[in-house]
Amino acid sequence: MRNGLPVLLLATLLLATPAAALEKCLTGGSTLGDQRALAALRADIDAACPCASYDGGKGADRAAYRRCARTVRDQALAARELRTECRANATRGFSDTTCGTIGKVACGRVQPSSKTRPVGCSVKSADRCASTPRFTETACTAQTHCSDVVDWTAGTCNDVRARSPYQAGVRTITFTKQSAVNPANPRPLDTVIWYPTDPGAGPINSTYGAVVDAPLAAGGAPYPVVLFSHGSCGFPLQSIFLTAQLAAQGFVVVAPPHPGNTINEFPTCGTSGAQVNSFIERPQDIIFVLDEMLAANDDAASPFFGALDPDRIAMSGHSFGGLTTYLVQAIEPRVKVAIPMAPAVIGTRSLTVPSLTMIGAIDTVVNNAATQTAYAASDAPKTLVSIGNAGHYAFSGLCFPSSDCNPPTTLTQDEAHGHVLRWVRPFLETYLNGDASYAAFFLRPLPGETVSAQLE
């Protein structure tokens, strides 16, 4: 009987302890709350202990920075703004920084053969940040925190959140075609085109996330092309967090509207008749606009003369635009990469080019099971990313209050967009541009993501 009381006491304590308190940091149902708590702690530390203020001098060395950061961490723990299970994660977040050091860098490491730590980072002298036959190391001089190097550069130092090496420019060009449903009717397509321009080209127009009518950055041409199809009752500007960002990273993004199925025709845009017509019209809209852009590429009078690489063309879209991605890739051999996002999969679909399929785990608008079936039927290389606590609108700038977009229960738009950016550019760089260094991003997903991949 001597062991009865301790056992009973332990059982009582376990029943009284919230389940979240028993979960490891960044796991299970605690993942989202932990991510937010760690992000809030990082912001508080940055405010109280600005890294730039710790230059390695007397009273401003690494030890001083860590003392300051520990104080902020301890306050968060005491206020229960941070779970005790995340104490070690929080400590690593400020310990593995260059703050207060002299001559040291955040050294990103990629070691694909490692099963436990394929992507890593450590702070060391720049001359010791060097590759060997077993791993690749890169001095990430633009980053001060190893957590950023691991999460947002996958050890490569290429930060997918950065608008670089260009700024984004934008133009709207109207291409007019015949309707595929009613050939006697003209179909004007006011197409929004984002493209690389030089930094400082002009003020950013917030509607487009880019500099309107800026000159094209000639130094990197010809650029790869990404065709983007908006969702049902959407519009070309629905995802500027992605389209403008890709332009600043060296892609030309071409986004036509699909008349009859845009926000301008609301609410008739969502009727069954509009949907059926759009199923026919959308692929032809995309192919026509691609033809027109490649014609402009050969036209010395066009602002896009010599700007496009006809051998590097990708197709992407959201929702009905995701379905359009399947439809276009099936009939357009010039498309070399496909990226459907929260696609409305209807019928039997598959992709025969390298593909990145992204879904929100709690999407109630489209059928994720149908998307997973389409993914299974698609050819490799392929990757399927399911974003936890994200719904249908994770891939758009729009958030319609619903179970699909209900912060703080779900991801905020900014949080969801971070996950999207974390995958789209690396996939394009790897499979459209042939840059093998970006393959490191596929080695380690972010917390909250479920990833399936067949890369060979």
Its sign, for the CA torsion 4, 7, 10, 15, is: negative
What's the start-to-end Cα distance of the chain, in Å?
A: 60
Question: Would you list the domain boundaries of the chain?
Answer: 29-100, 104-153, 167-454
From CA 237, how far away is CA 168, in angstroms rounded? 14
- CA distances (Å), origin 71, targets 56, 165, 364: 19, 37, 43
19 band by pLDDT with thresholds 50, 70 and 90: low
CA angle 414/418/422 to nearest 5° reads 170
Give the tens place of pLDDT for each residue, 138-155.
Answer: 999 999 999 999 999 999
Structure confidence by residue, pLDDT tens digits, 344-402: 999 999 999 999 999 999 999 999 999 999 999 999 999 999 999 999 999 999 998 89
Whole-angstrom Cα distance, residue 356 to residue 101? 40
Whether this model's pTM surpasses 0.85: yes
Peptide bond into 333 cis (omega under 30): no
Q: CB–CB of 21/85 below 8 Å?
A: yes
| pLDDT band for position 10 (cuts 50, 70, 90) | very low
- The DSSP bridge partners found for residue 91 are none
Read off the pLDDT of residues 171-209 as tens digits, 9 standing for 90 and up: 999 999 999 999 999 999 999 999 999 999 999 999 999
pLDDT at 3: 47
Name residue 255's beta-bridge partners. Answer: 192
Phi, psi torsion values for 286, nearest 5 degrees:
-65, -45
Provide mean pLDDT across the span 119-135: 97
Judge contact between 345 and 370, C-beta under 8 A.
yes
Residue 447 exposed, middle or buried by CB count within 10 Å (0-12, 13-18, 19+): middle
CATH topology of domain 167-454: Rossmann fold (3.40.50)
Whether 159 and 151 have beta carbons less than 8 Å apart is answered as no
Whole-Å CA distances, 143 to 32, 108, 420:
24, 10, 21
Judge contact between 414 and 422, C-beta under 8 A.
Answer: no
Structure tokens at 59: 């009273």
- Distances in Å between the Cα of 448 and the Cα atoms of 21, 35, 48, 146, 390 are 18, 9, 29, 20, 10
Buried (b) or exposed (e) across 390-417, using 16+ Cβ within 10 A?
A: bbbbbbbebbeeeebbeeeebbebebbb
Residue-wise DSSP of 279-306: HHHHHHHHHHHHHHHHHHHT-TTSTTTT
Cα 112 to Cα 121: distance, rounded to the nearest angstrom: 14
Beta bridge partners, 194, equal 170, 253
Cis-peptide into 50, omega within 30 deg: no
